[in-house]
Amino acid sequence: MTDTPQQVSHPVPDEERTWWKESVVYQIYPRSFADSDGDGIGDIPGIIDRLDHVADLGVDVIWLNPVYESPQRDNGYDISDYRSIHHEYGTMADWEELLAQVHDRDMRLVMDLVVNHTSVDHEWFQRSRRGDPEYEDYYIWREGDADGDPPNNWESFFGGSAWAYDEVREAYYLHLYDESQPDLNWRNPAVRRDIFDMMAWWLEKGIDGFRMDVINLLSKAPGLPDGDPDGDWVGAEHFVDGPRILDYLEAMDERVLSNYDILTVGEMPRLTVETAREYAGEGGPLDMAFHFQHTKLDYDGDERWSVGDWDLPELKEITRRWHDGLSDEGWNALYWENHDQPRVVSRYGDPEEYRRESATLLGTFMLTRSGTPYVYQGQELGMTNANWESMETLADVDARNRAQELMETEGYESFEEIADVVGYRSRDNARTPMQWDDSEHAGFTDGEPWLPVNTNYEQVNVAAAQEGDSVTEYYRSLIDLRTEHDAFVYGTYDDLYPDHDRLAAYTQTLEFPDGGVSERMLSVLNFSGSTETVDLPTTVENADLLLSNYDRDAIAPETDHEPYEARIFRLE
Ligand code: GLC
């Protein structure tokens, strides 16, 4: 026996580790998850009943979309009271029970923070429009121009002018989203104080973080100048990453966030690697941010309300750029889906012939790279887009506004003419009820669901996915694998075939501080519907197959790849 202490070298030093880097997040959209009382609308007791499904996936954190009191014009992103629970979803006691049950299962709960705007029904707005001196500056009010038209040409993200005229105040107010969502005036210190107090109030209740809605839009240019009329979002250059945004977020961090051990992720339209480093790099106010670049691959040009072909080299280029750009500071947030995006199998996979294969392949791409992955409800089932046959079947305020606008301004005469685009792009695709079993309405509700269930629910549902080679089982295995191997979380991503338009092959390498390799994982993914072969340039002898979405025992990485086959190997 010698008493020399053993030299243990850890590839990831303790100071670099944090729980939110090592977590897999699961997103719940309360309106569509599970209805406990038969009114056709999901609710908090419904979520509690189904928590075991979430815990069994092996995820660590739940992000809950807004559950605050709201007229629900934008499904809760229009908040009328930040400190109470929307009555259709339950009570504060129900929410407290949810938090306790999430914590009992060793998971954490992240809440949505929507502070760029409120609902017009919020008391602040009601008092502001009446000119109450305490609240008159809580929103962005302006006189019309000389002709009484809106003060400038900025456009709402949901279409039309970003200004609405209020008869009570006899002035225009700014709304970058729906006209029922007036933008708060962050220049007013009282607004900042009230928002920071509200955030601390929720954190004191024991929540574990915030997902921050369109958080880089808080600061608007002084004087509200005209925007570029040819821009795809007119005015964006004056309110995306506006002049005081970092001051506001740094104040938020100092006053509130830094007092708690929490996860913070900003949703940031038009985020670039450079701005991500400012928001979430060293000393930045947030932990990470969502960018949108990989969700635009299937646009025709810049236009969201269009459908174009996408290509794999471009996806790889975006992936490399974000990995490399944030490798020394900052952290990536990885996602395919959320409540605003169409289902990924319907976009980048094959929802008909290879639904299971392409869903598991896309899951592999998301869960085998460094960053924090976010799985959206139903993604673990391989849920697909639905059919939207008429304007009346759509519920999404954005899709309805856009459809209306396209018909009025682009000369379309009927919904049928735009159904392909609007139906593909509508946020309703993500919001159809969660499919629990093959009973009526997929076990989501005993009543009439607020949005119709996808017609494939008899095959695609949680009960059916408990056995065999289901997408859900595969997600469980993937999440297990990620949890066991730091290389997937902290490793360096190297793309072996940047230009290949059907196959992706990449390694995730974890090194010791002295340079020796601790672990190296290789993923080979066939993004096409045909069989592919590949000659791998690396030394792949002794490659251990860890997981495949086909029934494989051991197989060499370079042998034929079946349609949408995913394989994960351990090389070292
Ligand atoms: C974000 C939300 C979206 C909402 C919008 C306005 O993009 O994710 O659902 O409609 O902000 O709050």
CB burial string 56-81: b at 16+ within 10 A, e below: ebbbbbbbbbbbbbbebbbbbbbbbe
Cα 177 to ligand 1 centre (Å) = 8
177 lines ligand 1 (CB under 6 A): yes
Q: Which of 43, 74, 78, 267 is flagged as catalytic?
A: 267
Residue having the nearest C-alpha atom to atom 9 of ligand 1: 340
Does residue 213 fall inside a structural domain?
yes
Question: Into how many domains does the chain fold?
Answer: 1
* Residues near 13 by beta carbon (within 8 Å), at least 6 away in sequence: 513
Alpha-carbon separation of residue 535 from 138, 317, 512, 560 (angstroms): 62, 21, 29, 10
Q: How many CB atoms sit inside 10 A of residue 503's CB?
A: 18
pLDDT band at 93, cuts 50/70/90? Answer: very high
Environment class of residue 239 by beta-carbon count within 10 Å: exposed (0-12), middle (13-18) or buried (19+)? buried
Q: Select from 213, 396, 401 the residue to mutate for testing ligand 1; criterion: most ligand atoms less than 8 Å from CB.
A: 213
* Cα angle, residue 323 at apex, residues 351 and 350 outer, rounded to 5°: 5
**What are phi and psi for residue 473, nearest 5 degrees?**
-60, -40
Does residue 319 fall inside a structural domain?
yes
Does residue 308 fall inside a structural domain?
yes
Cα 123 to ligand 1 centre (Å) = 21
Cα 119 to ligand 1 centre (Å) = 13
214 lines ligand 1 (CB under 6 A): yes
Does residue 268 fall inside a structural domain?
yes
| Nearest-10 Cα torsion for 391, 394, 396, 399 | -40
Question: Is the model more confident about 78 or about 304?
Answer: 78
Tokens of 551: 């029934």
74 lines ligand 1 (CB under 6 A): yes
Cα 291 to ligand 1 centre (Å) = 14
114 lines ligand 1 (CB under 6 A): yes
User: Nearest-CA neighbor of 168 among 216, 145, 135?
Assistant: 135
Q: Provide, rounded to the nearest whole percent, the portion of the chain with pLDDT above 70.
A: 98
Does residue 47 fall inside a structural domain?
yes
| Cα–Cα distance, 99 to 108 (Å, whole number) | 8
pLDDT band at 2, cuts 50/70/90? Answer: very low
Give pLDDT, residue 537. 66
| Cα–Cα distance, 563 to 550 (Å, whole number) | 10
Does residue 232 fall inside a structural domain?
no
Cα 71 to ligand 1 centre (Å) = 15
Residue 272's domain is classified under what CATH number? Answer: 3.20.20.80
Does residue 121 fall inside a structural domain?
no
Residue having the nearest C-alpha atom to atom 7 of ligand 1: 214
Cα 471 to ligand 1 centre (Å) = 28
Does residue 390 fall inside a structural domain?
yes
β-partners of residue 266 are 212, 289
Q: What pLDDT digit, counting tens, does each position of 39-87 carry?
A: 999 999 999 999 999 999 999 999 999 999 999 999 999 999 999 999 9
Cα 29 to ligand 1 centre (Å) = 12
Atom of ligand 1 at shortest distance to CA of 158? Answer: 10
User: Nearest-CA neighbor of 102 among 63, 149, 155?
Assistant: 63
Question: Is the model more confident about 182 or about 392?
Answer: 182
The secondary element (H helix, E strand) that includes residue 204 is helix 189-204
User: Nearest-CA neighbor of 526 among 334, 312, 294?
Assistant: 312
Residue having the nearest C-alpha atom to atom 5 of ligand 1: 77
Q: Provide, rounded to the nearest whole percent, the portion of the chain with pLDDT above 90.
A: 87
Atom of ligand 1 at shortest distance to CA of 77? Answer: 12
Strand 566-570 and strand 517-526: pairing?
antiparallel
Q: Which of 74, 213, 357, 486 is flagged as catalytic?
A: 213
Which of 181-185, 438-442, 482-486, 515-519 is predicted least confidently?
A: 515-519
| Mean predicted confidence (pLDDT) in 373-388 | 97
User: Nearest-CA neighbor of 522 among 487, 554, 561?
Assistant: 487
Q: What pLDDT digit, counting tens, does each position of 511-560 carry?
A: 998 889 999 999 999 999 999 998 876 666 778 999 999 999 888 888 89
pLDDT band at 6, cuts 50/70/90? Answer: very low
Does the annotation count 389 as an active-site position? Answer: no
Does the annotation count 278 as an active-site position? Answer: no
User: Nearest-CA neighbor of 451 among 32, 27, 29, 74?
Assistant: 32
Tell me: pLDDT of 490 over 80. Answer: yes
**What are phi and psi for residue 290, nearest 5 degrees?**
-90, 125
Contact 488, 367 (CB under 8 A): yes
* Alpha helix positions (H), 485-537: 486-490
Residue having the nearest C-alpha atom to atom 2 of ligand 1: 213
pLDDT band at 4, cuts 50/70/90? Answer: very low
Residue span of the structural domain in which 77 resides? 19-116+190-220+263-474
Residue having the nearest C-alpha atom to atom 4 of ligand 1: 77
Q: What pLDDT digit, counting tens, does each position of 209-267 carry?
A: 999 999 999 999 999 999 999 999 999 999 999 999 999 999 999 999 999 999 999 99
pLDDT band at 572, cuts 50/70/90? Answer: confident
Q: How many CB atoms sit inside 10 A of residue 277's CB?
A: 17
β-partners of residue 523 are 506, 568
